[in-house]
Amino acid sequence: TSGQLPVCKKKGSVVDGGITEQSIQSLENLKYVLEAGGGSLETILKTTCYLAEISDFAAFNEVYKTYFKTDCPARSCFAVKDLPLGVKVEVEAIAHVKI
């Protein structure tokens, strides 16, 4: 997938709140994109997660682990200088979907 930002598809804007709310929205968007392509969170092989502040890692991880309860995919997580729209988090994934 491409990177999923915490943008609410109904409002078309970044969700209100901090890292927790933005992490939830980014992961919900990721789930939606995967399901639209015939996959699911369970088909993810690897995620790459970008945080605007590495100090948000613990809060991000608390949300992340609610989406991946068992057999978590491989993950890389980086702090980056800037993210689009000034968001706090972006998540992308590689998934395997049988056609």
Which amino acid type is present at position 71?
Answer: D
**Interaxial angle between packed helices 57-67 and 19-36, expressed in degrees from 0 to 180 and rounded to the nearest 10:** 30
Nearest partner of 74 among 97, 53, 50, 95, judged by Cα: 95
- pLDDT tens, position by position, 2-53: 999 999 989 999 999 999 999 999 999 999 999 999 999 999 999 999 999 9
Write down the pLDDT at residue 97. Answer: 87
Q: Where are the domains of the chain?
A: 7-95
CATH architecture of 7-95: 2-Layer Sandwich (3.30)
Burial environment of residue 88 by CB neighbours within 10 A (0 to 12, 13 to 18, 19 or more): buried
CB neighbour class for 95 (10 Å; exposed up to 12, middle 13-18, buried from 19): buried
| Residue 21 neighbours by CB distance under 10 Å | 16
Instruction: Report the pLDDT value the prediction gives residue 45, as an integer from 0 to 100.
Output: 96
41-99 pLDDT tens trace: 999 999 999 999 999 999 999 999 999 988 889 999 999 999 999 999 999 999 998 77
- The pLDDT value recorded for residue 92 is 98
DSSP per residue, 82-95: --GGG-SEEEEEEE
pTM across the whole model: 0.94
